[in-house]
Amino acid sequence: MFFKMVFRALTRRKGKHLMTAFTVGLGVSLATAMLGVMFDVGDKVNRELKTYGANLSVIPRGSSVAGEKYEFADEADAEGAAGEEGAIDRSGHAGHAGHSGHSGHSVQDFLSRARIPEDELHKIKMIFWAYNIVDFAPFLSTTVFVGDNPVNLTGTWFDKRMVLPTGDEVETGVLPLKSWWEIRGEAGDDSLPLGVMAGETLARELSLEPGSSLEVSTPAGEKINLTVRGIFRSGGEEDNELLSPMKLAQDISGLGGLVDRVEVSALTTPENDLARRAAKNPGSLSRMEWDTWYCTAYISSIAYQIEEILPGVRVKAVMRVAESEGTILRKTQLMMLLLTLLTLLCSALAISNLVTANIMERSVEIGLMKALGATNLSVSLLILSEMLAAAFLGGAGGYLVGLGLARFIGLTVFGTAVEVKTVVIPLAALMVIFVTFLGSLPALRALLKLKPTEVLHGR
């Protein structure tokens, strides 16, 4: 009978309960979307934010990103550096001298700098925080000539697959690392040694189109016929360059198996005091602090671990970016949480109004039930069940709408498809119950106080 009454009240008072369902549905859909986005996008926001640039730059020790060392270009220095790093392969560079007229002493500088062996780079994916390394790509810059004009040709991995000693397969390169680049034509392919991509500015200067062929001469005077597979726009300096598979740049520069620098994008934990102290000097930490620091994905500890595993490199954190990533993510999540709570509060308020109106409207009916011998508890249960039933109906609908909304937010705001985690379902159910109870509370108090004598005799 109880369920019959609830059911009848639901079906024969459709309008009112639809309002309840709608209100709850609205709240739940927003909350679901927010929570879904919050849970799933945590990583994705980070991933999206990191696309504004790699947050770690790996360079050979004794080198510098800005290249201030160009003055020390004499043979002895270079030899010294080579001995120190033990990684320079200078075979086959003899021919460069012939072309030095083109580039002045920069070829000398170029040859004298320390480099990183390409075949050790996979180790970056084997540090403690390997799974936080999202992407990385090595770069080796050389100069080629189009007619008499020097053009930067940078060798890189476009999208390289490799198998780690651990058996894990890794796919990384400049394309995933710089996923925001706009590409016209085809992307570069590591297996096509003469296929290059041209930066937009350069392409305009040289009137290159996807599919064009381009003859360049190496500093050694060798002519090479390249195919321009695609044109990219990075918004950065790369727009003036040619990007080629690593092998080509190494062949041209005579630096087989070596790279200039590696850009790494890692998911990091926002910096705190500990991280800042460690970044200055890891030695200053106590044993415990050091463990904590090492086992947290601070950008400084990731940098430290890469330096550990690749001897002879220096890892520079691009701190500003890393910090703002963390801050933005935290703020975004906080904002979503706040919005979720506000949404729920608004729903509870709206529900409160609806339940109160419902009870006012039915005061006679409630008085009658009490007069017939219904206890406060049973009447409250009846009203609550009705509300909950309507609320759950709305909640289910709201959840479905919320899924769509989350997708929409994911796609439009973060440019990624959000998969709402299943944990959101029980959360949504809890929200429905919470909102309904909270909203019903004031009305239920009125219900308890309601005296049959006051409503039954039409005074």
Partner 1 sequence: MTENMMEIRDVSKIYGPLRALKNISLDVPPGQWLAVMGSSGSGKTTLMNIMGCLDTPSLGEVTLDGVRLAKLSPGELTAIRREAIGLIFQQFHLIGYLTALENVMVAQFYHSMVDEAEAFDALKKVGLGDRAKHLPRQLSGGEQQRVCIARALINHPKLILADEPTGNLDETNEGTVMEILHDLHDAGSTIVLVTHAPEVASHAERIIVLEHGRLVSDNAGKNGPPPADPAKSPGAAPANEAVGEASDDGAAIGDDAAVKAANAASDPGGLNPTK
Residues engaged in binding partner 1 (CB under 8 A): 1-2, 4-5, 8-9, 11-13, 364-365, 367-375, 378, 451-453, 456-458
To partner 1, the closest distance from the beta carbon of 50 in angstroms equals 58
In whole angstroms, the minimum distance from the beta carbon of 394 to partner 1 comes to 20
- What Cα–Cα distance (Å) separates residue 153 from each residue in 53, 91, 160, 250, 372? 20, 20, 19, 10, 91
Minimum distance from residue 419 beta carbon to partner 1 (Å): 42
Between 364 and 411, name the residue whose CB sits nearer to partner 1: 364
Q: Kindly tell me which of 16 and 277 has the beta carbon lying closer to partner 1.
A: 16
**Based on CB atoms, which residue is closest to partner 1, 8 or 276?**
8
CB of 334 or CB of 371, closer to partner 1: 371
- Of 371 and 425, the one with the shorter C-beta distance to partner 1 is 371
Q: CA 200, 201, 202, 208: dihedral to nearest 10 degrees?
A: 50
Nearer to partner 1, 73 or 374 (CB): 374
The phi and psi torsions of 353 (rounded to 5 degrees) equal -60, -45
Q: Tell me the closest approach of the beta carbon of residue 9 to partner 1, in angstroms.
A: 5
The residue (of 151 and 383) whose beta carbon lies closer to partner 1 is 383
Closest CB 391 distance from partner 1, rounded Å: 19
Which of 124/382 has CB closer to partner 1?
382
CA separation for the pair 242, 356 (Å, rounded)? 70
From the CB of 361, what's the least distance to partner 1, in Å?
10
Nearest to residue 153, comparing CAs of 140, 165, 168, 164? 140
Q: With respect to partner 1, which residue has the nearer C-beta, 166 or 453?
A: 453
Tokens 């706009």 belong to which residue?
182
CB of 384 to partner 1, least distance (A): 17
Q: How far is the CB of 10 from partner 1 (least distance, A)?
A: 9
Residues 6+ apart with CB under 8 A from 334: none
Of 13 and 233, the one with the shorter C-beta distance to partner 1 is 13
User: Which residues lie closer than 8 Å to 266 by C-beta, 6 or more apart?
Assistant: 50, 55, 56, 129, 132, 133, 134, 297, 299, 302
Shortest distance (Å) from residue 400 CB to partner 1? 28
> Least Å distance between CB 456 and partner 1?
6
